[in-house]
Amino acid sequence: MMNKHEPLVSPYVLPHETVYPCERLGEQYIRLVHPSGLTVLLCPKQMHTLSAALVVRYGARDGRFACGDRAAHRYPEGVAHYLEHQTFTREDGASVDGAFAALGVDVNAWTNYEKTAYILNAPTHAEQALELLLRFVLTPAFTEASVEKERGIIEQEIRMIEDDPWEALHRQTMRCLYPHHYITRGVCGSVRSIASITPKTLYDCHGAFYRPENMYLCVCGDMTRERLVKILDGVMPTICPRSGDAARSCVSGAYHHRMPMRALCRSYGNVSKPIFSIVWRDDTAPCEPFAREAYAARMDVLSELLFSRAGAFYNRLLEKELITNAYSYGATITEDVAYHEISGESDDPEAVYRLYWETLQQARREHFTAVDFERNRRVCYATFIADFDDTEEIADLLVAAEGDGVGAFDRLAVIDTLTLSEIDALFDASFDRKHTALSVLLPQEHSAMIKGDTTL
Amino acid sequence: MQAARIPHIVPVSYDVMPRLRLTVCPTDRFKIGTLSIYALLPDSPHIAPTATALLPVLRRGCERYPSQELLNRRLDDLYATDCHTANTVVGNARCIGLISEVAESRFLPDGVQLLPDVIALMAQLLFCPVTERDGALSMRYVESERKKLIDAIESLVSYPAAYAMRRFRTLFAQGKESGAPVTVEQLQALREQDLRELLQVLRHTACFHVFYIGQTPPTQLTDMLRQSFQPYLSINAEQAVWPSFAPQPQSPRTRPLVVNEQSEAGQSHLILGYRTHITLTSPDFYAMMLCNELLGGSPVSRLFRYLREERSLCYSCQSEYSWARGELIVSCGIDRERRRESEEAILSQLAALQRGDFSDEEMEAARSLLVSSYTQLTDSTRALHAYYQARQIVGVQETVETCRAHIQNVTREQLIRAAQSLICDTVYFLEGGGSDALAEEEWEDTDDE
């Protein structure tokens, strides 16, 4: 597989340039730092579509930051997401979508708590599309009119999210686990918070964070290192360097571990049947990136062993008719939060909660077998390799890995060398009652009523 | 074009048994292959709920793996092979079966070939369900799956956009032979015997298609299929009749049906349904595809640009064209106060296309994106499967490359003609509470210092 690719390392080797191969998957990627300061990750792959993500290390958590000698300032909630929307607007007020469409390229963006990503999928004109992506993200053009126009669009996005009961449940659950933490807030802000955002707000934040040294570019597709570096050499000097000072974000979410948490949260919402979340706050997840990645891989296998649809817990719920088809489980482990969550829809969430503890107790008594362990390790392995068929998924993996400070293949190495005793040890230290909460959204009376009239 | 080095994937079909046909898209480009097996039956108001209820019962367990736990463990042993039910309508055909995603052996640590076991399991699931002593399907599974299906329908009221679309589809299909979503009442009325009768049809008369995208050679696949399916599909083999199916455009109402309903959600949802005689087999098919792309198929479409970018009426507004029944559906989430403005904007944008009031630049951007979407499709086994399976059902032999060439040849006049064929049939508005319904959340300021 690997010999199908052109050589990754050329005589023009940039500082901090490294090749990361994965023989098992027949994939490799290169990581380099361009002289502009932009970090680049390239996974060459013989596919029709080239996918790319230009990532800014700026997200919803960075609401308060300082620049240079200036004191820290708090910006309105939702400004990172607003900036993501506005970045698509050119000086004449038109959207950059048209320029990409003329190339046959679709472009999109997303914002989460830690970062903002601008993504494209280019089955054709990949080089022009990459150049355009870099130019529009790094060249802001905000006007009073365009910022005002975007407000209505984002208000509708906020209303759409507010109508999602799972989102309401998630926010409630996070308030149980991490009171006052940024994760309890919506990425988009609120209708009220975005009302105060102006072009100046956006220029301030763009100038502070949208800087090559605070960004990275992930590319996967039919692209060589030489062609990519040539594009960057051509584009970056014309849009860099930037004036002004870089931001120093004043956010730290990690200290929220060890804060007291609530064991039970209940509220009412527009649901026809209760939806619930059983969540365990994991205060023991490591901080160092590779240790955290290895820990997350072990937690995935443990989670599969305990809660998968092939496991005892889910099948007891099914037999007792305590669960509908809506059921999910898994761990979230970042530098600031770590928790394991089971969520679903049930007539009796408290019975599900009881069964959760019974299952854990039984598993502690009986221990995992080598056969069960191997099966669930296979699941994690297969889930990992499935992402490597799609250039967009690979670009996403590179985005996540670079954001987390690890290699994209590190998880595979951990899965390969995992042992049952490691999983047993992790289980012994996990899922204690003190750090577990049940969060439930109950149906409001009459919420399901739909009234109407019909005309022909 | 750099991508020209990547070989095209061209499907080839083989008659494996009188009642089983195999189509293979040979490729070694993917780590996960796709395999499906499905029967094609004439669609009817009766078969829709019956198939909807039967498939999850079959997926619940089989003779060899009689519980969900044992079955899912078996699938996990096969490197988390995915095996889910498929129940779709293409024109006047209902496709009932299973679809699996299977890891290619060269990427597995032990190099094991999973396909023989996966095929054997699929045969078990389709033909050896868990039964009672009297041969009836397991009543526990029938009732449990019925309850889950009903729960799923009833819980839709919690998701306003999904609820609105389901409600719209029910109204859109009123008075038609098929196309309406399955109802709670239909599921409640089903007897175990109805499910068993459909199973008998699958066992005794139905013809099956197997569709595969991956690197296993057709000769090996043929052997695996014979080994697993011969015991079940040899029945009535000499009387096998391969039915033919076609797209089924529906005639529009003489006046649009307009339905307004209220919900307690914050956002309102507006959906307009149009009908056209143009389907996959029509000469103007590609013109209609391009018309849809230009109207509401992308971020540079008329609806997205005019309703979202210029008027800030919505977060998204899109149109979707379904060739099997000649339907085009426009939908958007809006403020209740701006319903009239939004509807007028949608109507005016379609009217502009019908008059030919659009620029060459817009048309070329839409064409470029549509062609690109077909190019992208060839990078995904799932998308390739959907593309070729649907065409196979209605007997259209057309590669993705041919399809792209047809789109390049669509003229302005053809596009206008396609737009003019659209007739409004149904308008549905689910009115939310608007700004009053959204309680502003007071956020506590964190102490981040």
Write down the mean pLDDT value for chain A: 90
This prediction's pTM: 0.91
Contacts (Cβ under 8 Å, ≥6 apart) of B254:
none
Contact B315 A388 (CB under 8 A): no
For strands A264-269 and A436-443, give the pairing.
parallel
d(CA A230, CA A227): 5
CA dist A318 and A201 (Å) reads 51
Spatial neighbors of A126 by CB under 8 A, at least 6 apart, are A50, A105, A221, A222, A223, B2
The DSSP letter of residue B2 is G
Task: Report B:75-114 residues touching A (Cβ under 8 A).
Answer: 75-77, 79-81, 101, 103, 107, 109
At residue B268, does pLDDT exceed 60?
Answer: yes
Identify the pLDDT of residue A3: 37
- Give residue A257's pLDDT: 62
- For residues B357 and B352, what is the distance between their CA atoms, to the nearest angstrom? 5
Window from A234-238, B401-405, B407-411 with minimum mean pLDDT = A234-238
Q: In chain A, whose CA is at the least distance from the CA of B264?
A: A447
* Minimum Cα–Cα distance from A385: chain B residue: B31
CB contact under 8 A, A312 and B72: no
- Dihedral of the alpha carbons of B386, B391, B393, B394, in degrees to the nearest 10: 150
Tens-digit pLDDT profile for residues A335-364: 899 999 999 999 999 999 999 999 999 999
* Structure-token match 């306003």, residue found: B160
Q: State the Cα–Cα distance between residues B40 and B96, nearest whole angstrom.
A: 7
- Measured CA to CA, the distance from residue A435 to residue A439 in angstroms comes to 13
Give residue-wise pLDDT tens across range B149-183: 999 999 998 899 999 999 999 999 998 877 899 99
C-alpha–C-alpha distance, residues A117 and A396, integer Å = 10
Q: What is the mean pLDDT of residues B30-50?
A: 93
- What confidence category does residue A251 fall into, taking pLDDT thresholds of 50, 70 and 90? confident
Contacts of B212 (CB under 8 A, 6+ apart): B22, B23, B24, B25, B33, B34, B35, B36, B221
Q: Which residue of A has its CA nearest to B380?
A: A390
Contact A225, A10 (CB under 8 A): yes
Chain pair A-B, CB pairs under 8 angstroms: 247
Confidence of residue B435 (pLDDT cuts 50, 70, 90): low
If pLDDT is split at 50, 70 and 90, which confidence band does A14 have?
low
Smallest CA-to-CA distance from B448 within A335, A101, A256 is with A256
Q: Which residues of A touch B158 (CB under 8 A)?
A: 165, 269-272
Q: Which helix (H) or strand (E) holds A20?
A: strand A18-22
Confidence of residue A261 (pLDDT cuts 50, 70, 90): confident
Q: Establish if A145 touches chain B: CB-CB under 8 angstroms.
A: no
Q: Mind listing the pLDDT tens digit for each residue in A147-169?
A: 999 999 999 999 999 999 999 99
Q: Enter the tokens of residue A375.
A: 């099966």
Is a pLDDT exceeding 60 seen at residue A446? no
Alpha-carbon torsion, ordered B99, B104, B110, B111, to 10 deg: 130
Q: What are B62's strand-pairing partners?
A: B129
DSSP state of A8: S
pLDDT band, very low/low/confident/very high, at B247 (cuts 50, 70, 90):
confident
Range from A236-245, B56-65, B307-316 that averages highest in pLDDT: B56-65
Nearest to B300 among A24, A97, A182 (CB): A97
| C-alpha to C-alpha distance for B418 and B440, rounded to whole angstroms | 45
Contact B153/A at CB under 8 A:
no
pLDDT band at A94 (very low <50, low <70, confident <90, very high): confident
Round to whole Å and give the CA distance between B42 and A264: 52
Closest-CA residue in chain A for B261? A452
Query: Is residue B152 within 8 angstroms of chain A, CB to CB?
Result: yes
Please give the Cα distance from A181 to A161 (Å, whole number): 20
Interface check B143 vs A, CB under 8 A: no
Q: Give the pLDDT confidence score for residue B443 in this predicted structure.
A: 38
The 3-state secondary structure of B51-103 reads: HHHHHHHHHHCECCCCCHHHHHHHHHHCCCCEEEEEEEEECCEEEEEEEEEEE
The pLDDT of residue A1 is above 50: no
pLDDT for the residue numbered A254: 62
B434 pLDDT tier (thresholds 50, 70, 90): low
pLDDT digits (tens, 9 = 90+) for A103-133: 999 999 999 999 999 999 999 999 999 999 9
- Cβ atoms of A263 and A435 closer than 8 Å: no
